[in-house]
């Protein structure tokens, strides 16, 4: 009876975990990767657009990113947008492109990144708990509407909790992996 509802709730929980993965990708680990600039928005004729829509981002080597801007007059705006994003990196304009050298992470910066990763993880936990709360309400409503017993509702609640527990374990493993990646020298 509750299978479809539980599947949709599990899908929402998986989407929260995927969102956490994207957030973790934007937390730099000392290596140059185009995903570091994923959240940077550039003012393009009065509209904020993602950086990857005004230029091509590529890794030159393990410590350098290159951004080839398609419209030369946007170079200054892109430079300011990257600085404004507070990623701890500064772009340099050379020719018609921007270059970003990823500095070696200091121990203070590493601790700040770990703290940021934990905050992102906590936001994901909150999202998962909110999905569980919504699911419980939907289960109660479905039980009343279908005229099912409280045992059926309780069974659905246990299955929902089991799904949440699995997602929480996965979330903890992702956080642990990111912390190790950030603290590894």
For each of the domains in the chain, give its residue range(s) and CATH number, in order of start: 3-25+106-183 (1.10.132.20), 34-101 (3.30.1360.40)
Q: DSSP letters along 20-33, please?
A: HHHHHHTS--SS--
Q: Determine contact, residues 18/30, Cβ cutoff 8 Å.
A: no
pLDDT for the residue numbered 85: 82
pLDDT per residue over 82-118, tens digit each? 888 877 788 888 888 889 888 777 888 888 889 999 9
pLDDT beyond 80 at 136: yes
pTM, full prediction: 0.70
pLDDT per residue over 33-44, tens digit each? 787 888 889 988
What average pLDDT does the structure give for the chain? 87
Residue at token pair 């039980």? 143
Local structure of residue 35 (DSSP, 8 states): G
pLDDT for the residue numbered 28: 66
Q: What is the mean pLDDT of residues 10-17?
A: 93
């Amino acid at each position: 009876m509750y299978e479809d509802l539980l599947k949709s709730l599990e899908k929402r929980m998986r989407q929260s975990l995927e969102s956490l993965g994207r957030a973790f990708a934007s937390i730099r680990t000392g290596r140059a990767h185009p995903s570091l600039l994923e959240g940077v928005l550039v003012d393009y004729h009065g509209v904020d657009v993602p950086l990857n829509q005004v230029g091509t981002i590529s890794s030159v080597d393990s410590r350098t990113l290159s951004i080839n801007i398609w419209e030369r007059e946007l170079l200054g705006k892109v430079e300011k947008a990257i600085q404004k994003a507070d990623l701890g990196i500064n772009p340099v304009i050379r020719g018609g492109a921007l270059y970003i050298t990823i500095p070696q992470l200091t121990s203070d910066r590493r601790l700040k990144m770990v703290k940021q990763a934990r905050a992102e993880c906590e936001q994901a936990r909150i999202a998962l708990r909110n999905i569980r709360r919504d699911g419980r309400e939907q289960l109660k409503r479905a039980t009343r509407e279908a005229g099912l017993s409280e045992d059926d509702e309780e069974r659905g609640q246990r299955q929902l909790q089991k799904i949440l527990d699995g997602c929480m374990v996965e979330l903890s493993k992702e956080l642990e992996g990111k912390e190790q990646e950030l603290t590894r020298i």
